[in-house]
Chains A and B, each alone.
Chain A
Amino acid sequence: MAEPTSMRSGHVPPGLDTTEMRSMSDRRTSPPSPVAQRAGKHPLVTSGAATMVVGVLLVATSAIVFGDAIALRPSSEPLGPAAFPLIIAVLLALVGIALVVSNRRSALVLARNITREGAPQLARVLILLGSIVVYALVLPIAGFTVTSALLFTVAARLLGSTHRWRLPLYGIVISGLITLLFDRLIGLALPAGPWGF
């Protein structure tokens, strides 16, 4: 692959000698994760950018853990309740910074080549996560069977099922079987709706 020599001068961040996605994807030797491989056209860039996001999250978590730990009251023990969290906070910051530094190039490349290609899929991911939150809210009101049948239907649609009216039926059958097995047979008390299941 051709090295874009014109970009190797001092005004680009160190290590960032190209922002062309394809040549970056080719250059790195280790294979990307299988999910990243399927998720976009340039899996290594996606993977690197995701790694950087994890790094940022770790640094942010480090601050939260640190803030929580210093607010704890010291105890009479030699090693109080704050000591272990503080160690973890330091390690979180170190590892987080390492991930950010080593992957900033991918994030930059992704930012410069931003497309809306993956946007609908990303929206679907968020909808499913939102559905689980809604599920949690509706569960005590409508009971396990009905709520789960709805969640099944939503998840199946998001996963790309082309069935329409059949999905709620499948959902009722599956959640009905679960209710029968877990609630009636095994005796796990699942939340019941106004209709008793």
Chain B
Amino acid sequence: MDQLELLRQGFEAALTPGNLLWALLGVTIGTAVGVLPGIGPALTVALLLPITFQLEPASALILFAGIYYGGMYGGSTTSILLNTPGESSSIVSAIEGNKMAKAGRGAAALATAAVGSFVAGTIGTIALTFVAPAVAQFAIQLGPPEYVALMVIAFVTVSALLGPNMIKGAASLLIGLTLGLVGIDAQSGQARLTFGSSGLFDGIDVVLVVVGLFAISEALGHILARTGQTTVTPVKGRALLTKEEFRRSWPAWLRGTALGFPIGSLPAGGAEIPTFLSYAAEKRLSKHKDQFGHGAIEGVAGPEAANNAAAAGVMVPLLTIGLPTSATAAVMLTAFQSYGLQPGPALFAESGDLVWALIASLYIGNVMLLVLNLPLVKVWAKMLTIPAWAIYSSVVVFACLGAYSAGGSITDLYLLAAIGGLGLLLRLADIPVAPAVVGLILGPLLEQQLRRALILSEGDPAILISSPFTIGLWLVIALVLAVPGVMALGRRRRRALALSNAE
């Protein structure tokens, strides 16, 4: 077992007292920021990215892994207690979780979410340990035509699955693709869409876009809706599971994990689909069908596990192909690049030690979260009593800090204001913002691979369908576009959301 030896070395690197301290710091501030309402993992990671800029790569990655898992955990705490899911993949666990919280069983909901996240995260990370190197091995053979097809799959699925309909998903994706055009074209050296401003030559930073679309627009949304004064009294109690609750939870954790990791690791995935499938499966299999919609614990345990397993799964295409399939993964890709790492098939060969240290710190972060959070649930829940105006005016300051330090120029702050305004418009229009983030980061890569493919074939577009693998991928794309079943999943999500909002 080659991987085990490499993983052992990874643990050796991650288990130094200094690095453990970084991991602890990461999960703590990740949870603290992630727990704030309306701030999902993608935004948590983007807001806290500047902290990691000045560290050496190994420590930065470890701190970063902690922030990532902490942000995920904090996000699910808030969606259960407040029913304000910070990102679409935690919508489902909010449905039953919030019902449980309202019925005074919030502590049990948080406990099953925490333990479920731990179980799923651990199994997911183990699967990642074995799957990722194999996929990387396979991905080395992929050429530009395969990359083009893979990225188009990611585009089509991301716009089909997020948001109320495909047109709105596509609109968001195209906004991202357009933002991705800005800057100097690497192949020809010509400036595109820069309007002569030298601040735009390097392109628009992903962190800037994430912070604008998620953070500034959230603050603006609160101003528009006059909800800046609201404070919430969260549920109290100890996060413990009774025997009965545990007995009902653990099969759901395992089923959620079994759905989450494989689907998350597809280059099409994201964490949305598995959470819905898991919810549907639990509802069908449960002996307590009547409790669904009124706080069934399986309905929290399954989707929460699926979400976390999918988050580990998303690392597979991210690390091995360099293909982010969620907004969070897109921010992670930028983070890796800022540490001088380029995710892709060569990553394991070239910076193996760092990757294994990262994977090891995912295990460590997972354990730390469980140990920290079961006793600390009350402390995190206290953060929800901070008035909204204080949270969001701090978020605005942090957003400006993040935008300025990611781009390093005043132009970035102007862009931040513009993108924040756009984000509010998209929120009003019910257009999902995650496809824009994915489009922004994948657009330039798609163009590069497309142009490379056509250089290889001397201009013959037939190269795009030249191998059985590419033909298969294009068939999948046609299927996703043609079959309305995939769309129905998106609508089911809307209905579920409507249901939970109605009460």
Q: What is the interface of chain A, defined by CB distance below 8 A to chain B?
A: 30-39, 46-47, 50-51, 53-55, 57-58, 61, 64-65, 68-69, 72-73, 75, 77-81, 83-85, 88, 91-92, 95-96, 98-99, 102, 118, 121-122, 124-125, 128-130, 132-133, 135-137, 139-140, 144, 148, 151-153, 155-156, 158-162, 170, 174-175, 178, 181-182, 186-188, 190
Q: Knowing A72-B188, A81-B187, A161-B389 are in contact, say whether A54-B54 is a contact too (CB < 8 A).
A: no
Residues in B with CB closer than 8 Å to A77 are: 187-188, 451, 454-455
Q: Knowing A37-B501, A65-B178 are in contact, say whether A174-B397 is a contact too (CB < 8 A).
A: yes
| Bound CA–CA A75/B306 (angstroms) | 48
Q: Please, which residue of chain B has its CB at the minimum distance from the CB of A124?
A: B223
A56 to chain B minimum Cβ distance, whole angstroms, is 11
B191 to chain A minimum Cβ distance, whole angstroms, is 9
Decide: B181 and A95 in contact? CB cutoff 8 A.
no
Residues in B with CB closer than 8 Å to A65 are: 178, 181, 193
Q: Knowing A75-B187, A92-B174 are in contact, say whether A159-B222 is a contact too (CB < 8 A).
A: yes
Q: Knowing A31-B498, A125-B220 are in contact, say whether A85-B413 is a contact too (CB < 8 A).
A: no
Q: Knowing A77-B454, A136-B410 are in contact, say whether A54-B171 is a contact too (CB < 8 A).
A: yes
A133 to chain B minimum Cβ distance, whole angstroms, is 5
Q: Knowing A37-B501, A75-B187, A92-B174 are in contact, say whether A151-B397 is a contact too (CB < 8 A).
A: yes
Q: Which of B67-75, B344-352, B399-407 contacts A (4 or more CB under 8 A)?
A: B399-407
Compute the total of residue contacts between A and B using a CB distance below 8 Å.
238
Decide: A152 and B450 in contact? CB cutoff 8 A.
no
Q: Does B221 contact A (CB under 8 A)?
A: yes
Q: Name 17 A/B residue pairs within 8 A (Cβ), A-sorted.
A: A35-B224, A35-B225, A39-B428, A46-B428, A51-B430, A65-B178, A77-B451, A79-B459, A99-B171, A124-B224, A125-B224, A136-B410, A148-B397, A153-B393, A156-B390, A174-B394, A186-B53
| Bound CA–CA A135/B416 (angstroms) | 11
| Bound CA–CA A55/B91 (angstroms) | 27
Q: Does B447 contact A (CB under 8 A)?
A: yes
- The A-contacting residues of B in range 434-476, CB under 8 angstroms, are 443, 446-447, 450-451, 454-455, 457-459
Decide: B219 and A78 in contact? CB cutoff 8 A.
no
Residues in A with CB closer than 8 Å to B177 are: 88
Q: Please, which residue of chain B has its CB at the minimum distance from the CB of A129?
A: B417
For B389, give its contact among A30, A57, A83, A160 (CB under 8 Å): A160
Residues in B with CB closer than 8 Å to A137 are: 410
| Bound CA–CA A72/B190 (angstroms) | 7
Residues in B with CB closer than 8 Å to A102 are: 167
Q: Does B251 contact A (CB under 8 A)?
A: no
Residues in A with CB closer than 8 Å to B219 are: 128, 155, 159
Q: Knowing A84-B447, A135-B400 are in contact, say whether A58-B171 is a contact too (CB < 8 A).
A: yes
Q: Does B41 contact A (CB under 8 A)?
A: no
Q: Please, which residue of chain B has its CB at the minimum distance from the CB of A163?
A: B389
| Bound CA–CA A51/B221 (angstroms) | 16
For B401, give its contact among A54, A57, A99, A178 (CB under 8 Å): A178
For A132, give its contact among B174, B185, B400, B425 (CB under 8 Å): B400
Q: Knowing A84-B450, A152-B393 are in contact, say whether A58-B226 is a contact too (CB < 8 A).
A: no
Residues in B with CB closer than 8 Å to A37 are: 501
| Bound CA–CA A51/B165 (angstroms) | 12
Closest CB pairs A-B (n = 4): A159-B228, A78-B459, A33-B430, A38-B225
Q: Does B255 contact A (CB under 8 A)?
A: no
Decide: A68 and B193 in contact? CB cutoff 8 A.
yes
Decide: B416 and A132 in contact? CB cutoff 8 A.
yes
Residues in B with CB closer than 8 Å to A54 are: 171, 425-426, 429, 431
Question: Which of B446, B447, B457: most chain A Cβ within 10 A?
Answer: B447
Q: Does B164 contact A (CB under 8 A)?
A: yes
For A75, give its contact among B188, B454, B459 (CB under 8 Å): B188
Residues in B with CB closer than 8 Å to A188 are: 50, 53-54, 405
Decide: A51 and B389 in contact? CB cutoff 8 A.
no
B110 to chain A minimum Cβ distance, whole angstroms, is 23
Residues in B with CB closer than 8 Å to A80 are: 188
A37 to chain B minimum Cβ distance, whole angstroms, is 7
Q: Does B494 contact A (CB under 8 A)?
A: yes
Decide: B389 and A159 in contact? CB cutoff 8 A.
yes
For A95, give its contact among B174, B495, B497 (CB under 8 Å): B174
| Bound CA–CA A174/B185 (angstroms) | 40
Give 6 A-B pairs besides A79-B450, A155-B393 with Cβ atoms closer than 8 angstroms.
A75-B188, A77-B451, A81-B187, A124-B224, A136-B417, A139-B410
Q: Does B130 contact A (CB under 8 A)?
A: no
Decide: A68 and B192 in contact? CB cutoff 8 A.
yes
Q: Does B388 contact A (CB under 8 A)?
A: yes
Question: Which of A57, A77, A96, A118: most chain B Cβ within 10 A?
Answer: A77
Q: Knowing A81-B187, A92-B178, A161-B390 are in contact, say whether A32-B224 is a contact too (CB < 8 A).
A: no
Q: Does B271 contact A (CB under 8 A)?
A: no
Decide: A182 and B50 in contact? CB cutoff 8 A.
yes
Q: Does B424 contact A (CB under 8 A)?
A: yes
Residues in A with CB closer than 8 Å to B426 are: 54
A50 to chain B minimum Cβ distance, whole angstroms, is 4
Decide: B430 and A47 in contact? CB cutoff 8 A.
yes
A188 to chain B minimum Cβ distance, whole angstroms, is 6
| Bound CA–CA A157/B63 (angstroms) | 34
Decide: B193 and A139 in contact? CB cutoff 8 A.
no
Question: Which of A57, A84, A118: most chain B Cβ within 10 A?
Answer: A84
Q: Does B33 contact A (CB under 8 A)?
A: no
For B501, give its contact among A34, A55, A118, A156 (CB under 8 Å): A34
